[in-house]
Amino acid sequence: MTERRIPLWVKLVYTGYVGVVVPYYWVTYTPWNFLYFCDIALLTTCPGMWLESPLLISMQAVGIALPQMLWVVDYLGELLFGVHVTGVAHYMFNAEIPVFVRGLSSFHGWLPFVLLWLLTRVGYDRRALRAQLAVVVAVLLVSFYLAPAPPIPAAHPSWAVNINYVHGFDDMHPQTKMAPLAWLTMLGGIAFAMVVLTHLDLSRAEAGRGSGRRRRSCRRSHAGQVNGRFDPSLPLAFRIADNFGVSVEEVFDKTDV
């Protein structure tokens, strides 16, 4: 039986939170709201946790870690200094929005840190780069061509429109500074750059952890040679794990055999 790398209580608490968010957002903002990259990450992380899937978790990390850090900076800037850095978290200080609703939206601040912690448990899967770039293209195209465009319906002021800002930063009026497809292309380029930069950082971090594991393995192997108990399988397993972007535990997992 494979050893559990993510504590059960973390999975249960996270699943319970998602179980509250989904029905509320579905009714209040419509299902289109779940097309936002941050909401996709929130939902996909749940099965990623239960499956302990490095690929699913890594995709969400490269997809939202950097942009959501901007949300964190904006929130802390207003909380500590009363300064709006980007304005994306300003609604968290709007007293007209119920505390319960603002609490549900707090995942924008803590989810990137949870994802980074999860990567220390399951490891970063380098296949996440291509997979997430494909997701970015698909989501932006659906948001642009199929999802509701501005303005917000007067009869339903809470309904989600202008998903992922594909029509500009104003939910009441489409942007007019450039051609719509030019705006979408620019947005895609920014998203691609953020994904690639995050991938490079996470790959370097994973390589550093791999080097640390190999050094520890070499020390144990040397001790085993001295004591006459050398087993070369562990150093080989670390090399296999690094090459395929999986954890050492998955190398020895026999459940798929």
- Taking only the tens place, the pLDDT of each residue in 11-41 is 999 999 999 999 999 999 999 999 999 999 9
DSSP 72: H
Task: Report pLDDT for 84.
Answer: 86
φ/ψ region of 162 (left if φ > 0, alpha if ψ in -120 to 50, else beta) reads: left
Mean pLDDT of the chain: 89
Confidence of residue 214 (pLDDT cuts 50, 70, 90): low
pTM of the model: 0.82
Q: How far apart are CA 38 and CA 45, in angstroms?
A: 11
The token pair at 123 is 């490891």
Are residues 62 and 199 in contact, defined by beta-carbon separation less than 8 angstroms?
yes
On the question of pLDDT at 134 being above 60, the answer is yes
Question: What does the angle CA 176 – CA 177 – CA 182 come to, to the nearest 5 degrees?
Answer: 95
Q: How far apart are CA 236 and CA 239, in angstroms?
A: 5
Task: Report pLDDT for 206.
Answer: 93
Helix residue spans in 52-106 (DSSP H): 54-81, 99-104
Task: Report pLDDT for 124.
Answer: 97
Q: How far apart are CA 246 and CA 240, in angstroms?
A: 8
Q: How far apart are CA 107 and CA 68, in angstroms?
A: 10
Name the residue ranges covered by the structural domains of the chain: 8-251
Task: Report pLDDT for 146.
Answer: 98
Task: Report pLDDT for 208.
Answer: 87
Quick one: CA torsion of 138, 136, 84, 92, rounded to 10 degrees? 60
pLDDT digits (tens, 9 = 90+) for 59-110: 999 999 999 999 999 999 999 999 988 889 999 999 999 999 999 999 999 9
The token pair at 201 is 């950082």
Quickly list DSSP for 170-213. Answer: -SSS---SS-HHHHHHHHHHHHHHHHHHHHHHHHHHHHHHHHHH
254 phi and psi angles, rounded to 5 deg: -100, 5
Are residues 153 and 37 in contact, defined by beta-carbon separation less than 8 angstroms?
no
